[in-house]
A and B are shown apart, each in its own frame.
Chain A
Amino acid sequence: MRRVAMTETVDQIFVILKHWLVANLPVEVQPIFAAMLSVVSIIAVFASLFAVTTILERKGLGRFQNRYGPNRVGPYGLLQPLADGLKSLTKEDIVPRSADKVVHLLAPLILVVAAFLGYAVLPIGRNMVAVNLDAGVLYFFAASSIVELSIFMAGWSSRNKYSLLGAMRAIAQMISYEVPLILSAIAVIMAVGSLSTVTIVERQAGYTGIWPHWFVFTPWGFAGFVLFMIAGTAESNRSPFDLPEGESEIIAGYYIEYSGFKFALFFLGEYIGMFAISGLAITLFLGGWSAPFPFLSWIPSYLWFFAKLFALIAMFIWVRSTLPRLRMDQLMNFAWKFMLPMGLLNLVNVAVWRFLPSGLSRWLVCAVLVVVPYLLLGRGLVQSKKLEKRVYRFAD
């Protein structure tokens, strides 16, 4: 038996634990029990991450806005999620009399289930993926598209025209931003040649000297990462793309008629979707569970995944506190007129990267291929909005 290094044991501790637990069971139930164990641990970990994120977000938003966040419940307000959870559990569940009851109940459930389905293909650590699918990325996008259906169900079943309006806008937004999201992911798939998330992460786990092979450090990868994060923000209806929620305008948009626990489920589903998209961004661009420098690889792989996840969550909170909400037409213009062309150019870019010989020229060409279209397109789109004197067709 070879001597296993301590760091490797710590790195694989959950895998070892799972094998030990499953081995004590009869052979017939072993596969189902192994799967159940993965599922339960994913739900437990990411639901508690949701609770932590709510308090981090509120405290963080407070500090960004020159104020304390909640600091009355528990030390530094850290028990606030407990108070919020108790509140949402004990609130009265109001369903409008003329609402479609079955659909009204199903919408948040489908949202949460669809959001959790995406985690099945994310490699949380070395050898730690729930299901190693050959078409993992495709599965992820398929599962996360169900979210749009559940939003429409919520808006339609509430029998409220504002709720429906919010749902329509939400679906328009989400469908428009699916395109740049998937285009930027395709760039990575082209570079790696495989749809499997495990393969993608393993391809990024090497080092040249001390520099990691993460795709975000290449020109096309950086552009792809930015596009992916922007599209991901729009997919999870997060500020500045939270017009469908419209917290200050149409109160809550498509979940205006929901109260109590179902509202909490919507909230949960939105955040879980956000974590899933961030998890995929980490897998595709940020090297998954691999450490940034080889001398830091003694830190367990799952800790690196969660560190990167926290960094992306902090980025989400930072952007939320900074940017004003985008208007519907601004949002759609941005998706179709800017992000889609940039995504397509990114595909060309990654092809150029693949077929040029490695070296400085490759870097320069690909960097130019990112920067120049960005500047030209940006300037071109902004210029077309000249402010003119308003001319009325009938009023004059």
Chain B
Amino acid sequence: MLGEGIVKGLAETARNFFGSYVSKDRLTTVQFPEERLPQAEAARNFPFLVYDGDDWQEGLRCVACQICEKECPPKCIFIEKSNDKKPDYLGKPQFYPAVFNIDVSVCMSCQICVEVCPFDAIEMDTAFELSTDNRFDGLLWRKAQLAKSNEYFHIIHPVASAEVDERLTAAKVKAEAKAKTAADAKPATPTPPHAEIEAATTK
């Protein structure tokens, strides 16, 4: 019948109108910036450096191995190794980056630096409200700006950070167990060396 489609269309828009006051899926607007949609687990924008604990300089996981600098396709990472060493989470003394710069205007968010890092020191951040008023200096991020805590990593990537933490704690436990068995394998009182040589030479 002529006009049937029009009436059906009018009914549908009327449902939209009245439904938009009662149900959320008839009013899908998310009023940015007061409301935000949660981002996916795998969302990524630019890299950041992870640090454990409270002190960002002490707990920085990066050991300045420069693998990410070499693998980065547009070469946006610039690292200068330090001259001294500091202990890492396993207690081993490691180098640390004296200078760690990422040029964000060059970075293409490919995540290769994250994939190749052997120490889980660099991960992808999801923050996107990054506008600055300086085109050159404002888009060159230095170590202090890049360092963010492990707790922050947990908030933005819960699954990935849990996996990383599990691996690192497993490695730490294994290292501690190894150190403990090494300590147990040593005798309670140290044998004098000449007794050992005597024992060996009399054989």
Q: A63 and B14: CB pair below 8 A?
A: no
Binary A-proximity of B12-30 (CB < 8 A = 1, otherwise 0)? 1110110011000011110
How distant is the Cα of A230 from the Cα of B11 in the complex, in angstroms?
18
Q: Name the distance in Å between B18's Cβ and chain A's nearest Cβ.
A: 9
Chain B residue contacts of A323, Cβ below 8 A:
6, 9
Q: B2 and A67: CB pair below 8 A?
A: no
Q: Name the distance in Å between A76's Cβ and chain B's nearest Cβ.
A: 13
Chain A residue contacts of B200, Cβ below 8 A:
none
Asked if B10 is an interface residue, CB under 8 A from chain A, the answer is yes
Q: Name the distance in Å between B21's Cβ and chain A's nearest Cβ.
A: 8
How distant is the Cα of A138 from the Cα of B76 in the complex, in angstroms?
77
Q: A378 and B2: CB pair below 8 A?
A: yes
How distant is the Cα of A338 from the Cα of B135 in the complex, in angstroms?
63
Chain A residue contacts of B197, Cβ below 8 A:
none
Q: A68 and B2: CB pair below 8 A?
A: no
Binary B-proximity of A50-61 (CB < 8 A = 1, otherwise 0)? 000000000010
Asked if A293 is an interface residue, CB under 8 A from chain B, the answer is no
Asked if A30 is an interface residue, CB under 8 A from chain B, the answer is no
**Please, which residue of chain A has its CB at the minimum distance from the CB of B7?**
A322
A322 touching B2 in the complex, CB below 8 Å, given contacts A66-B16, A66-B28: no
Number of contacts between A and B (CB, 8 Å)? 45
Q: B2 and A318: CB pair below 8 A?
A: no
How distant is the Cα of A381 from the Cα of B1 in the complex, in angstroms?
11
Q: Name the distance in Å between A322's Cβ and chain B's nearest Cβ.
A: 5
Interface residues on A, range: 10 to 19
Which of B9, B12, B17, B20 has the most chain A CB within a 10 Å cutoff? B17
How distant is the Cα of A374 from the Cα of B13 in the complex, in angstroms?
25
Asked if A64 is an interface residue, CB under 8 A from chain B, the answer is yes
How distant is the Cα of A64 from the Cα of B28 in the complex, in angstroms?
12
Chain A residue contacts of B192, Cβ below 8 A:
none
Chain A residue contacts of B6, Cβ below 8 A:
322-323
Chain B residue contacts of A67, Cβ below 8 A:
27-29
**Please, which residue of chain B has its CB at the minimum distance from the CB of A381?**
B2
Asked if B189 is an interface residue, CB under 8 A from chain A, the answer is no
Q: A374 and B17: CB pair below 8 A?
A: no
Asked if A65 is an interface residue, CB under 8 A from chain B, the answer is yes
Interface residue SS majority, chain B: helix
How distant is the Cα of A319 from the Cα of B20 in the complex, in angstroms?
18
How distant is the Cα of A68 from the Cα of B21 in the complex, in angstroms?
10
Q: A378 and B16: CB pair below 8 A?
A: no
How distant is the Cα of A381 from the Cα of B6 in the complex, in angstroms?
16
Q: Name the distance in Å between B41's Cβ and chain A's nearest Cβ.
A: 28
Which of A60, A319, A322, A377 has the most chain B CB within a 10 Å cutoff? A322
Q: A378 and B13: CB pair below 8 A?
A: no
Asked if B3 is an interface residue, CB under 8 A from chain A, the answer is yes
**Please, which residue of chain B has its CB at the minimum distance from the CB of A226?**
B3
Given B1, B13, B20, B31, which contacts A318 in the complex, CB threshold below 8 Å?
B13
Chain B residue contacts of A381, Cβ below 8 A:
2
A63 touching B16 in the complex, CB below 8 Å, given contacts A322-B10, A323-B9: yes
Q: A64 and B29: CB pair below 8 A?
A: no
**Please, which residue of chain A has its CB at the minimum distance from the CB of B15?**
A64
Q: A64 and B10: CB pair below 8 A?
A: no
Which residues 279-298 of A sit at the B interface, judged by CB distance below 8 A?
none
How distant is the Cα of A318 from the Cα of B13 in the complex, in angstroms?
8
Asked if A390 is an interface residue, CB under 8 A from chain B, the answer is no
How distant is the Cα of A67 from the Cα of B13 in the complex, in angstroms?
12
Q: A64 and B3: CB pair below 8 A?
A: no
Binary B-proximity of A342-377 (CB < 8 A = 1, otherwise 0)? 000000000000000000000000000000001101
Asked if A385 is an interface residue, CB under 8 A from chain B, the answer is no
Which residues 46-89 of A sit at the B interface, judged by CB distance below 8 A?
60, 63-68
**Please, which residue of chain B has its CB at the minimum distance from the CB of A60?**
B17
A378 touching B31 in the complex, CB below 8 Å, given contacts A63-B16, A322-B10: no
Given A66, A321, A377, which contacts B26 in the complex, CB threshold below 8 Å?
A66
Asked if A386 is an interface residue, CB under 8 A from chain B, the answer is no
Binary B-proximity of A299-319 (CB < 8 A = 1, otherwise 0)? 000000000000000000011
Chain A residue contacts of B27, Cβ below 8 A:
63, 66-68
Chain B residue contacts of A378, Cβ below 8 A:
1-3
**Please, which residue of chain B has its CB at the minimum distance from the CB of A380?**
B2
Q: B1 and A64: CB pair below 8 A?
A: no
Asked if A379 is an interface residue, CB under 8 A from chain B, the answer is yes
**What are 21 A-B contacts with C-beta separation under 8 Å?**
A63-B16, A63-B20, A63-B21, A63-B27, A64-B16, A65-B16, A66-B16, A66-B26, A67-B27, A67-B29, A68-B27, A318-B10, A318-B14, A322-B6, A322-B9, A322-B10, A322-B13, A374-B2, A377-B2, A378-B2, A382-B2
Q: Residues of B at under 8 Å CB distance from A?
A: 1-3, 6, 9-10, 12-14, 16-17, 20-21, 26-29, 31
